[in-house]
Amino acid sequence: MARIGYSYKPQDETRAVRAMGYEIPMSFKHAMEICRAIRGKKVPQAISYLEGVVDLKFPVPMKTHKKKVAHKNIPGWYAGRYPQKTAKEILKVLKNLKANAEYKGLNLDELVIVHAQAKKGRSIVRYTPRAFGRAVPKVKQFTTVEFVAEVR
């Protein structure tokens, strides 16, 4: 397993906290859109937002991958979805970020997510047999997400 690092280095390590979810089996496209949605939010606000996504209360705006996506009531945007599986997995990483901040003794109400990024991980390719002797690939995609929060 290769060593993977963070792509963002905070200026002051004592006032920043990091967390990473390495190769989680979830959609890269949904993870990218969720990271865009929670970047710049405070950590408790981002956690409550993702819990709302899991409960189908708040849609995630789809800004890049928006073809044939239904319209939702999102202020400032039209296309949205409720990526529940990805939201649950990213919620685990955000709770880890929160625990890291508590361990460091940082104030949770002042923590702002300054870096949220999704990276493509490995792809596991399997083959499914089909009719007439053919076989089609079945690809399982893994995604790495990283978060950095700083006291502002």
Domain total for the chain?
Answer: 1
37 in a domain, yes or no?
Answer: yes
48 in a domain, yes or no?
Answer: yes
Find the CATH number of the domain harbouring 93: 3.90.470.10
- Judge whether residue 3 has pLDDT over 80: no
- Judge whether residue 39 has pLDDT over 70: yes
6 in a domain, yes or no?
Answer: no
pLDDT in tens, 46-71: 999 999 999 999 999 999 989 999 99
- Residue-range definition of the domain harbouring residue 54: 15-151
Give the H/E segment covering residue 141: strand 135-151
pLDDT in tens, 100-136: 999 999 999 999 999 999 999 999 999 999 999 999 9
27 in a domain, yes or no?
Answer: yes
When pLDDT is cut at 50, 70 and 90, the band that residue 73 belongs to is: confident
Torsion of CA 102, 104, 115, 13, to 10 degrees: 170
120 in a domain, yes or no?
Answer: yes
